[in-house]
Structure 1
Amino acid sequence: MRLSRMGLLLVAALSAGAQAREYHYSDAHLHYVDFFQETAGMDELFSKMAEGRIDHVMLSGIPVAKKWHEDEPKRPRYYAGDDAGAYWFSATDTFIASAYKRLPAEQRERFHPFLSGINPNDKNADALVRQMLELDPGLWQGIGEIFTRHDDLTSLIDGETPRADNEALARIYHLAAEYDLPVMLHSNITSKREDNPLYLEEVETALRNHPNVRFIWAHAGTSKEIHRHQKKLDFLLPTITRMLEQYPNLYIDLSWTVLHPYLLDADGNPDPEWVQLVSSYPARFMLGSDVVGRFDNVGKIMSEFDPFLDALPEAVAQQVARDNFLAVLPRKVQAEVAGQEGR
């Protein structure tokens, strides 16, 4: 996709005229706990939301726990800290539900719990998810982040490599459609070595076979390990462009691995082609911090998108920064949010 000279001038003009904007955000990708199921707590999160003008957050756990192996002398600080494995951890949802229920009613309105403690290789998983949904009717507002192909984490998790199009997840998607729940899916578009959309068909099969499910594709299929080895995927923009046209149930999470090197160049300038793409599909993109259990930098991370938002038409920037995430939530939740904000 190439921009005309007029298109480039339009982007520059929009950027120049947007200096006075102040955004409010919805964080569409936030993990309340880290890979050890630990958290800084709701008080810190709520405080940092206020500082960062973050009105709403997607509140999810981490579906795996990192093992501190018997042979490792020091406790790892991250899943990639050593070679010890990780294992599927369904209790993460218990932590999310407990934190959410302890909030005062007026604060709960700003938090949107997603159920994530799912083993995506287990065909029993949908029955377990249904039990969770029935245990707390109305609490869960989405499913995810579901981990499938996920950098080196994939090889550390016990068992087979999950695929976005396997039968176990198909059962989850049917359940999501039944309960009107969006699904956030982490499925890398390729490996860290292959400069082609190696795993794309797995995502497309899920989109094609489940048209009534609103899929949020985490990081647009990118990851830090892919960028570490390949820098920038030239095929990403045309692929996302085609998919948005082909699949009306696809939404894109523009969290941190998309910010650089796609939305902003090395000098921090907005990429005109991505500006045009987002402007062409104004309802299909949302922002996320992807923080895990610690919230000191959540406001800073969200504000780093401002130069890109400034290059968008102001109404589109507001949608991307805040409103699009709310619009993919269950219709009942959307109505409740609209009623709360209309008071």
Structure 2
Amino acid sequence: MNYLHRKILYIAGAFILALSCTCAAAQSNKEYLFNDSHFHLTNYVQKGTDIHKYLEIMGDKVGRSTLFGIPLQQTWSYENSGDYAPTYYLETDAPLYYYSFTDAFIAKAYESLSKEQQARLDPMITGFNPADMYAVDHIRRVLELFPGVFTGIGEFTIHKEFVSSKVAGDVASLTDPALDRILDFAGKVGLVVILHSDIDMPFSKPGKEPIFLKQMKELLARHPKTTIIWAHTGLGRVVHPAEDQAIAEPKVERNPRHLEYIEGMIKDPKLSHVYFDISWDEVAKYAVATPEATKNTAGMFDRHPDRFLFGTDVVAPSDQAAQLRVYNLWDPVFALTKSATKEKIMKANYERLFDAARKKVRAWEKANVKAAKN
């Protein structure tokens, strides 16, 4: 056998091996239950799950996952809580402040993994103040210091029940030019954005359009080249869907339902770059609160299966049960949808958006960052 024949056989063998690995990976991915578009490795005092432990938790249930901490640090004020060390923002009256080191922590944790392990994770930049015009400089600096690591920015917060008022410094706003600078830069780089901003004030009165809806739509429309995921579809622990207010006060004329607001945004061609994550158990509870809510949610998913992503919003879990619990809460809804709809929301939409972002960000780094990693 001459050299040419050996070379041909070698190439053919390598191709078959690569093809078999690809098929195996594809088959393996089909066996995963979901990709997690919203996951916090650390909590409000920057403690959490070891990243190697998290990969074990993902196991054969979670295919891929975003990876971010929490950009806010809870102050332990001895004058407020004494010897009690709060780990959550509801456990003290002391303020929160932005903790930029979270990005370096996430990057170093990610870099400690093998390439195969890294492929399952999409780290996100969160440690910036969205009310600071210099926030863009922080994001760029992180990309320059850790090329080859990050896929997007977020989850970061503008309006959030019980949180926004506790943050030290300027109040974040959907109309702040600092936020426009952030979204504009994200679009140029290709970073996926996960933005938390409540659609309404807590305990707002029924009968009116949600307070922040108009500002949110105007903000999103200003950045058509940026892929933006609106976390939790704007809902929260006490920021209820409009129909809940009508049920609580039946004598008050009903607001258009929350689903109608979201579907209106989906149908708006100016917002075709906007997606919605359905993360957090607090969001799932609204979708399954009544048979009507479950049916209406399933119907919207079937009509627009490309615009939603599943996530858990689990914070620093100790085991797999925490993620699976949120996943299982949606069973009544997906029992009513098409199987293709569930596949897109649970897996395919994540892969489409984050794969595209990886490619764009790596290309930007190659063009703008010296010695960018492959």
Q: TM-score range by the shorter chain?
A: 0.7 to 0.9
1:55 aligns with 2:95: no
Q: Alpha-carbon deviation of 1:284?
A: 0.6
Residue from 66, 75, 83 that aligns with 2:74: 66
CA distance in 1 between counterparts of 2:328 and 2:53 reads 18
Higher RCO (CA 8 Å, separation ≥ 6 residues): 1
Based on CA coordinates, which of the two structures has the bigger radius of gyration? 2
CA distance in 2 between counterparts of 1:117 and 1:142 reads 12
Q: Percent identity?
A: 29
CA offset digits 1:272-292 (Å, max 9, x no partner): 211111111111101111111
Alpha carbons 1:148, 1:163 under 8 Å: kept: yes
Corresponding residue number in structure 1 for 2:341: 316
Amino acid at match of 1:260: K
1:161 aligns with 2:171: yes
Q: Alpha-carbon deviation of 1:316?
A: 1.2
Structure 1 pair 232/326, CA: closer, same or farther in 2 (3 Å)? farther
Corresponding residue number in structure 1 for 2:140: 130
CA distance in 2 between counterparts of 1:276 and 1:302 reads 19
Structure 1 pair 330/46, CA: closer, same or farther in 2 (3 Å)? closer
Q: Alpha-carbon deviation of 1:82?
A: 1.4
Cα RMSD over matched residues?
2.3
Residue from 237, 246, 255 that aligns with 1:224: 237
CA offset digits 1:58-84 (Å, max 9, x no partner): 101111100000212211131111111
CA distance in 1 between counterparts of 2:325 and 2:113 reads 24
* Structure 1, unpaired ranges of 5+: 1-20, 336-343
Corresponding residue number in structure 2 for 1:341: none
Alpha carbons 1:143, 1:181 under 8 Å: kept: yes
1:252 aligns with 2:276: yes
Residue from 271, 278, 291 that aligns with 2:294: 271
Q: Alpha-carbon deviation of 1:97?
A: 0.4
Residue from 265, 271, 287 that aligns with 2:310: 287
State the TM-score, normalizing by the size of structure 1.
Answer: 0.85
Give 1:1-343 correspondences, 5 Å limit.
24-50=33-59, 53-71=61-79, 72-73=81-82, 74-194=84-204, 195=206, 196-227=209-240, 231=244, 235-246=257-268, 247-256=271-280, 257-262=282-287, 264-266=288-290, 271-296=294-319, 297-329=322-354, 331=356, 333=358
Amino acid at match of 2:261: T
Alpha carbons 2:124, 2:153 under 8 Å: kept: yes
State the TM-score, normalizing by the size of structure 2.
Answer: 0.79
CA distance in 1 between counterparts of 2:73 and 2:187 reads 28
Corresponding residue number in structure 1 for 2:3: none
CA distance in 1 between counterparts of 2:359 and 2:309 reads 16
Alpha carbons 1:326, 1:334 under 8 Å: kept: no
Structure 1 pair 43/232, CA: closer, same or farther in 2 (3 Å)? farther
Secondary structure, aligned partner of 2:272: coil
Amino acid at match of 1:306: D
